[in-house]
Amino acid sequence: MANLNTKTISELSDLLEQGKCTSVEIVNDVLAAIDARDGKINAYLTIDRTSALAQAEAADKARAAGKKGALLGIPLAIKDLLNVKGQPCTCSSKILEGYTAPYDATAIAKLREAGAVFLGRVNMDEFAMGSSTESSAFKKTRNPWNTDHVPGGSSGGSAASVAADEAVAALGSDTGGSIRQPAAFCGCVGLKPTYGMISRYGLTAFASSLDQIGPITKTVEDSAILLEAMAGKDEMDSTSIDLSVPDFAKDLTDDHSLKGMKLGLPKEYFVEGMDSEVEKAVRDAVEHCKKLGAEIVQVSLPHSKYAIAVYYIIATAEASANLARFDGIRYGLRKDGADPIELYGKTRAAGFGPEVKRRIILGTYVLSSGYYDAYYLRAQKVRTLIRNDFVEAFKQCDAILAPVTPTPAYKIGEKTNDPLKMYLDDILTTPVNLAGICGLSVPCGFSKAGLPIGLQILGDSFKEVNILKVGHAYEQTTTWHKQRPEFS
């Protein structure tokens, strides 16, 4: 069977189950696609062919011995900040160049147990700080739909690899939109689960109170499969929540009806300066959901307009402490100095890129004596107001529909000289992380220039079932997700 790399997890799982293909064949097809076009896309940082094939062989043997499961033998691309034992974990930073992860993240351990194959590490913004993957210290990943454009970020490598069929599915992380935005830019499905849904143990921290691991896939069903495999309480992460994990994938029915569901439309999320093509595609999607039986209600999220300011205080404050451990003493890059302080200075000056330095300095500043109350404490209070808006809104609806980004993917280099402009693009995604709720990005159209547009579906905490249901019904009654970029 040809081009197994173009198929979804659920399709491959069926083929494997029926004995129509092997995991080794899937891995070989994915490797062939990488060989054919990653030279142009630059999604991958490292590929471990020998290990991937060995894992695939082991999965095939396990299947022959009677093991089952939707992820048995499925290769995945992993964002380079998730620890996979024995593989690099650079976070796209020079400071971790040459570092080998000594342990599996909990999410990885669960997927390993399910038989998934860890095929390679994909590019990202350095320490997940960025929205275009341009802050990677190693390479510029390109958008498979138009290689002059960015893939989004920070999980740009994850989204680009899936869009280019260089991966069956990928894992990313979302701190302020880092899964949903690149998924939207690359025409993929991206899920940011509720905070606490998936253990963060082994996810290199950017902003601990905002980070979540999540899937980037070709379909909503595939995201449901990966979520189910990774979710649940972990003794190693105090912030993970003890809830019984629903059978997310099975709950997706084939009737594609949204009858009885109320979908909220926040007036504040169709922001000024929004691209008209994006607005039209999202409004069309809302109409489509209405046709599927959903009732559309107006909701208001008045404090979301402060989300960018709040986000860039809280996220950078946490990051300034989280990134303090990269000091050249125990692992990673070291630039020697006459004393520890000089060693730290030299190591961090050489190891961190400009965006990371900018955020560390900003975070250090907002926590400084005399400024804490005015910035950090105040930001936490506004964060509560943003969260309360959502609590109120979800009293009126089962899910909220909104755009993911104000525009489709922009050109490489277009915003790198204006960090503030790039920060503002996170306006529609950061409130979700601040509120701790879940959000899904599904393809809902293309611009005239042929760039994908995403629909954002937001759900209340631990109501992933709702957004997956809406996303699945929308996706299965539209064809956007079936379109693939062309490669010459």
Partner 1 sequence: MSINGKYEACIGLETHVMQKTQTKMFCGCKHEYGAAPNTNVCPVCLGYPGALPVLNAKAIELCCKAGLLLGCKINPHSKWDRKNYFYPDMSKNYQITQADQPLCLGGQIVTEVNGEQKTFTLERIHQEENAAKNTHDKAGSLVDYNRAGTALMEIVSTPCMHSADDAFAYIQALKLIMEYGGISDCDLEKGHMRSDVNVSVRPVGQEKLGAKVEIKNMNSPSFIVEAIKYEIERQIEVIENGGKVVQETRGYDSDRGETFSQRTKEDAHDYRYFPEPDLLPVEISGSQIAQWKSELPELPVQRRERYVKELGLPDYDAKVLTAEKSISDFFDAACKKTKQYKLVSNYMMGKVASLVTEKGIRVVESKLTPEALAQVADLVSGGTIGSSAANELIEILFTAGGDPKVIVEAKGMAQVNDDSALEKWAEEAIAGNAKAVADYKAGNPASINSLMGYVMKQSKGKANPPAVIAMLKKKLDT
First-to-last alpha carbon distance for the chain, in angstroms, is 22
Active-site residue (options: 10, 173, 178, 304): 178
Question: Of 83, 146, 194, 433, which one interacts with partner 1 (CB under 8 A)?
Answer: 83
Which residues on adjacent β-strands are paired with residue 104? none
258: which 2 tokens?
A: 């949204």
- Residue with smaller CB distance to partner 1, 45 or 207: 207
Instruction: Match 């709702």 to its residue by tokens.
Output: 466
Specify the amino acid at residue 40. K
Q: How far is the CB of 419 from partner 1 (least distance, A)?
A: 23
- Per-residue burial over 222-256, b = 16 or more CB atoms within 10 Å of its CB, e = otherwise: bbbbbbbbbbbebeebeebbeeebbebbeebeeee
Contacts of 449 (CB under 8 A, 6+ apart): 146, 408
Distances (CA, A) of 144 to 76, 92, 162, 185: 18, 20, 9, 10
The site string for partner 1 over 99-118 (x = CB under 8 A, - otherwise) reads x-xxx-x-------------
- Residue with smaller CB distance to partner 1, 51 or 208: 208
Check residue 364 for interaction with partner 1 (CB under 8 A).
yes
Q: How far is the CB of 366 from partner 1 (least distance, A)?
A: 9
Distances (CA, A) of 50 to 238, 342, 397: 36, 41, 49
Q: How far is the CB of 200 from partner 1 (least distance, A)?
A: 6
209 is catalytic: no
Q: How far is the CB of 363 from partner 1 (least distance, A)?
A: 9
Check residue 372 for interaction with partner 1 (CB under 8 A).
yes
Check residue 331 for interaction with partner 1 (CB under 8 A).
yes
**Do 364 and 356 contact (CB within 8 A), yes or no?**
no
Specify the amino acid at residue 144. P
Task: Specify the 3-state DSSP secondary structure of 182.
Answer: helix
231: which 2 tokens?
A: 């979710």
61 is catalytic: no
Active-site residue (options: 154, 240, 320, 461): 154
Check residue 237 for interaction with partner 1 (CB under 8 A).
yes
Question: Of 9, 89, 111, 399, which one interacts with partner 1 (CB under 8 A)?
Answer: 89
Task: Round to whole Å and give the CA distance between 35 and 29.
Answer: 10
Check residue 188 for interaction with partner 1 (CB under 8 A).
no
Which region among 66-74, 181-189, 195-203, 409-417 touches partner 1 (by CB under 8 A)?
195-203
Check residue 320 for interaction with partner 1 (CB under 8 A).
yes
40 is catalytic: no
Question: Of 203, 225, 226, 386, which one interacts with partner 1 (CB under 8 A)?
Answer: 203
Question: Of 118, 145, 344, 410, which one interacts with partner 1 (CB under 8 A)?
Answer: 344
The site string for partner 1 over 6-35 (x = CB under 8 A, - otherwise) reads ------------------------------
Question: Of 67, 86, 98, 329, which one interacts with partner 1 (CB under 8 A)?
Answer: 329
Check residue 412 for interaction with partner 1 (CB under 8 A).
no
Q: How far is the CB of 15 from partner 1 (least distance, A)?
A: 34
Check residue 208 for interaction with partner 1 (CB under 8 A).
yes
Q: Give the Cβ contact number of residue 35 at 10 Å.
A: 12
Task: Specify the 3-state DSSP secondary structure of 254.
Answer: coil
- Per-residue burial over 119-148, b = 16 or more CB atoms within 10 Å of its CB, e = otherwise: bbbbbbbbbbbbbbbbbbbbbbbbbbbbbe
- Residue with smaller CB distance to partner 1, 246 or 345: 345
- Residue with smaller CB distance to partner 1, 6 or 364: 364
Measure the CA angle with vertex 174, ends 249 and 405; round to 5°: 95
Q: How far is the CB of 105 from partner 1 (least distance, A)?
A: 6
Question: Of 200, 218, 303, 481, which one interacts with partner 1 (CB under 8 A)?
Answer: 200
| Burial grade of 161 (CB within 10 A; 0-12, 13-18, 19 or more) | buried
Which region among 128-136, 233-241, 409-417, 450-458 touches partner 1 (by CB under 8 A)?
233-241
Task: Specify the 3-state DSSP secondary structure of 384.
Answer: helix
Check residue 178 for interaction with partner 1 (CB under 8 A).
no
Distances (CA, A) of 155 to 131, 179, 200, 256: 8, 6, 16, 30
Question: Of 86, 98, 302, 340, which one interacts with partner 1 (CB under 8 A)?
Answer: 340
Binding footprint of partner 1, residue count (CB under 8 A): 45
Instruction: Find, among 24, 443, 449, 373, the residue nearest to 223 by Cα.
Output: 443
Task: Report the length, in residues, of the chain.
Answer: 488
Which region among 52-60, 304-312, 319-327, 394-402 touches partner 1 (by CB under 8 A)?
319-327
Active-site residue (options: 7, 10, 23, 79): 79
Known catalytic residues?
Answer: 79, 154, 178
| Residues at the contact surface with partner 1, assessed by CB under 8 A | 81-83, 89, 91, 96, 99, 101-103, 105, 200-205, 207-209, 235-239, 317-318, 320-321, 324-327, 329-331, 340-341, 344, 364, 367-369, 372, 376
